[in-house]
Structures are given as C-alpha cells and as structure tokens.
Amino acid sequence: MVGIWRETADGLVALQAEPFERERVLHDSIERGAAMLPLPGQPTLVILGREVQLGHGSADLIAVEAETGRPVVIEVKLASNADRRQVFTQTLGYASALFGLTAETFDRLMRPHLARRGHASISEAVAAEVGDGSAAPESFDAMMTEALEGGRIRCVVVLDAAPADLIELTGFLQAVTNDRLDIDLVTVTAYTLQGVRVLVPQLVEPQRVTSPPPPPPTRRDARPIPGAQSFADGIDGSGPAHREPLRRLLDWAQALEAEGLATLFTTIGKGRWVLNPRLPGQERGLVTIWNDGGASLSPQRSVLQAEAPRTLAVLDQRLPGRIRQNGHLTCPLGDDVLNLFTDAYREAAAPR
C-alpha cells in the first residue's frame, strides 16, 4: 500500500488521504500532467483531446505515445461514481472505435480538439510536446498508421481507489488479451502536505499469467546527443547568410549552460540540426533552436507557463501573439529578446 508518512516525536504518522471533490478535478490533473501516470515502458504521453466522441460515448482523454504512435484511451472514475464498475466496458468500447481507423481519419477526428490546443495535426502536437526536434512528422505518421492498422492501442483506467473485483478483472483482461492491446490500472491518491496538494499515482499490477514480452517499440529515427558540438559542426554547412545568426544563438545557449541554467542536447535529422537547451534535470526546455534551412528559435509555451510564468507575461507584451507552442521566431533576434529568454531560464532555476 502506497502512503505518505510524516516523522513526529512519537514516530511515523500516516497522512490521511483526501477525497477528490469531483471527478473533473482528477481529469484536470491528468490532462495537465499525463507524465505522472506510471505506465510500463514509461511512454511519453501527448494529450490530444478531452471528452472525445467515440462510438456511443465520449472518452475522457485521448492521447498518443510519442515513441510509438500508439493511441491511448484514458478513462477516469471516482469511487463515488456509480458507473465505476462499467469502466472497462466503456474503455474497451472506445478502443474498438479506434481500431481500424486510418491515420488520416484519426487526425481528422481529433482536429477540433487539437485546434483548441493550438495545433493543426497530431504530429504537430507530438513535435511540440517532445520539443527537441526528434519527432519528425513523416516518421511519426508512419508509426501511427502502423499502430492503428495493427490494432495496437493502450487503455488506461485511472481510479482514486481500486476495489478487489476491479483488480481481479484487470488481471484477467491482461492475461487473455494479446500483445497488441495493453490494459493498465492506475490509482491516484491525494494528500495535503504542509499546505500543498500532493498526488501519489500507483500502477496496480495484479497477478497475471506471464506472457512473452512484446517487441520493443519503434524508436524515433533521431535521438538527442549530449552537448552542442554536432550543432556547431552543422553551422559550417549552412548558407553564408545563416551562419552568423546560428552562431549567435549557439553562443547564447552555451552561455546558459555556462551559467548552470541549461544542459545542451543536439538532434540531427534529415538536413537539419536542432539544439535543445533543457532545464537541468529535465527532458524539456523553454526554447528550441533550429538550423533547418535557416536559423530560428521556437518557444515552448507550455513549459514557459509552468516554469517561468512571470517572464512569459513580459514576452507576451514584447512579442504579442508570437510566443506560441513550437512557433518559430526567425532570426535575427535582438539582445533584448534573448535577454528575456535568459530571464525565463533564471526564473525557472530560482527556488520556489
């Protein structure tokens, strides 16, 4: 049993779990931070839409795995919900509605939801979430097509508490389904710790029949390389007009690293080099620097909102409407703008 324990003079005292006020609260938390779900294989989940009409109902959340292109159905239920015992029927129904769709049909189905998130397509949403240039649209679309045609779908049921009969049912479904359909059960418990709301997710793993492991997921064709040397080497092969702005952005990124504000990674694709100044200890950065037929800088708005909201407000005033998720700012960029992005990295590094 997972719990949080507080040390006192009289020993360890277990904190009391708190109920979620409404199902919507848990929905919101997962939608904002799907990375908290402790799923086997630790996939990068990219949320595409909420309350998505599929078959005869609406799926709570639809996502894809960035590494494999596999669709993910996420259903959320609280103990107080009378329909909780039908959650697997609902979830498998949504999965069956996805089975056999073409990638184009799936993309069209999600388009209204993606538009509300500022994206034109599923591959664009994945590229924005990954943010390091490794999720090339053409390779991701091919993986998604393969997953849909093969019926490779992940179903995730999220509960505040899992009764024994649902755990037993989960184990049965895991044992009898093939390796194309994954079924995961996750519980999320809420606590208040020193005035801060804390969520503790746990993967529920019932006893199941051991089956051969599935084949390893298809990896993206470009992987981040630590450091900036590969990006620097790519500048020499760029057009003469682009070399100076690229070196200027490289110098700026290396200054961030020298100050301890970022760790640099380079991704090399087909005719492009991408420099990602990641936040220390994280796999995401506030911006991405591109050498792709020219020099440009892409703000990662969702990361700026989470890590540097005060500086983001200043950037929105300075560049109204231009600090978009994965939107490209073309060079040259003035020192005043680059200094603002430096301020953003300093804000992200400041103690909270």
Tell whether 242 and 182 lie within a shared domain. Answer: no
Whether the predicted pLDDT of 133 surpasses 90: no
Cα–Cα separations (whole angstroms), residue 264 to 73, 164, 229: 34, 47, 10
Tell me if residue 12 falls in helix, strand or coil.
Answer: strand
| Total tally of structural domains belonging to the chain | 2
Q: Which of 174, 204, 234 is the last residue of a domain?
A: 204
Q: Residue 127: CB partners within 8 Å, gap ≥ 6?
A: 133, 135, 136, 137, 140, 326
The domain of 270 spans 225-349
Neighbouring CB atoms inside 10 A of 250's CB total 20
- Quick one: pLDDT at residue 134? 67
- Quick one: pLDDT at residue 219? 43
* Contact predicate 61/78, CB 8 Å: no
Instruction: Quote the Cα angle for 299-250-246, to 5°.
Output: 85
Instruction: Write out pLDDT tens, residues 309-345.
Output: 999 999 989 888 888 766 778 656 788 889 999 999 9
Q: Which of 9-18, 22-31, 178-187 has the highest mean pLDDT?
A: 22-31
Average pLDDT, the chain: 86
- Quick one: pLDDT at residue 319? 86
Instruction: Write out pLDDT tens, residues 251-275.
Output: 999 999 999 999 999 998 777 899 9
Q: Which of 204, 239, 258 is the last residue of a domain?
A: 204
Whether the predicted pLDDT of 214 surpasses 70: no
Tell whether 32 and 150 lie within a shared domain. Answer: yes
Whether the predicted pLDDT of 210 surpasses 60: no
Nearest to 22 by CA among 78, 85, 91: 78
Instruction: Write out pLDDT tens, residues 143-180.
Output: 898 888 888 999 999 998 888 888 888 888 888 887 78
Tell whether 280 and 150 lie within a shared domain. Answer: no
pLDDT above 70 as % of the chain:
91
The verdict on residue 3 lying in a domain is no
Query: Residue 1: is it exposed, middle or buried by C-beta count within 10 angstroms (0-12/13-18/19+)?
Result: exposed
Tell me if residue 121 falls in helix, strand or coil.
Answer: coil
Cα–Cα separations (whole angstroms), residue 307 to 94, 115, 285, 302: 35, 24, 10, 9
The verdict on residue 280 lying in a domain is yes
Whether the predicted pLDDT of 212 surpasses 70: no
- Quick one: pLDDT at residue 220? 46
Tell whether 330 and 237 lie within a shared domain. Answer: yes
pLDDT above 90 as % of the chain:
44
Q: What are the φ and ψ backbone dihedral angles of 32, each rounded to 5 degrees?
A: -80, -30
> What's the CA gap between 148 and 106, in Å, rounded?
9
> What's the CA gap between 114 and 106, in Å, rounded?
12
- Quick one: pLDDT at residue 217? 47
> What's the CA gap between 113 and 125, in Å, rounded?
11
- Quick one: pLDDT at residue 278? 94
> What's the CA gap between 85 and 334, in Å, rounded?
58
Whether the predicted pLDDT of 209 surpasses 60: no
The verdict on residue 215 lying in a domain is no
Instruction: Write out pLDDT tens, residues 273-298.
Output: 999 999 999 888 999 999 987 888 88
Tell whether 111 and 189 lie within a shared domain. Answer: yes
Q: What are the φ and ψ backbone dihedral angles of 280, each rounded to 5 degrees?
A: -55, 130
Instruction: Write out pLDDT tens, residues 75-119.
Output: 999 877 756 668 888 999 999 999 888 889 999 999 999 999 999
Q: Which of 152, 171, 204 is the last residue of a domain?
A: 204
Nearest to 265 by CA among 280, 247, 246: 280
> What's the CA gap between 285 and 280, in Å, rounded?
9
The verdict on residue 52 lying in a domain is yes
Looking at residues 211-232, what average pLDDT do you find?
Answer: 66
The verdict on residue 2 lying in a domain is no
CA 271 to chain centre: 26
The verdict on residue 249 lying in a domain is yes
Whether the predicted pLDDT of 138 surpasses 90: no
Tell whether 160 and 265 lie within a shared domain. Answer: no
| Range in 56-65, 172-181, 214-223, 263-272 the model is least confident about | 214-223
Provide the token pair at 319.
């560049």
- Quick one: pLDDT at residue 330? 62
Nearest to 40 by CA among 166, 150, 194, 205: 205
The verdict on residue 88 lying in a domain is yes
Tell whether 253 and 141 lie within a shared domain. Answer: no
Provide the token pair at 107.
């993309």
Whether the predicted pLDDT of 69 surpasses 70: yes
> What's the CA gap between 243 and 291, in Å, rounded?
9
Phi-psi region of 55 (alpha: psi -120 to 50; beta: other; left: phi over 0): left
Tell whether 189 and 245 lie within a shared domain. Answer: no
Provide the token pair at 208.
């199941």
> What's the CA gap between 311 and 328, in Å, rounded?
18
- Quick one: pLDDT at residue 196? 87
| Range in 122-136, 144-158, 300-314 the model is least confident about | 122-136
Tell me if residue 179 falls in helix, strand or coil.
Answer: coil
Tell whether 194 and 231 lie within a shared domain. Answer: no
Tell whether 44 and 114 lie within a shared domain. Answer: yes
Looking at residues 194-202, what average pLDDT do you find?
Answer: 88
Whether the predicted pLDDT of 21 surpasses 90: no
Tell whether 192 and 232 lie within a shared domain. Answer: no
Tell whether 179 and 229 lie within a shared domain. Answer: no
Cα–Cα separations (whole angstroms), residue 346 to 284, 301, 318, 349: 15, 16, 18, 5
The verdict on residue 337 lying in a domain is yes
* Contact predicate 153/179, CB 8 Å: no
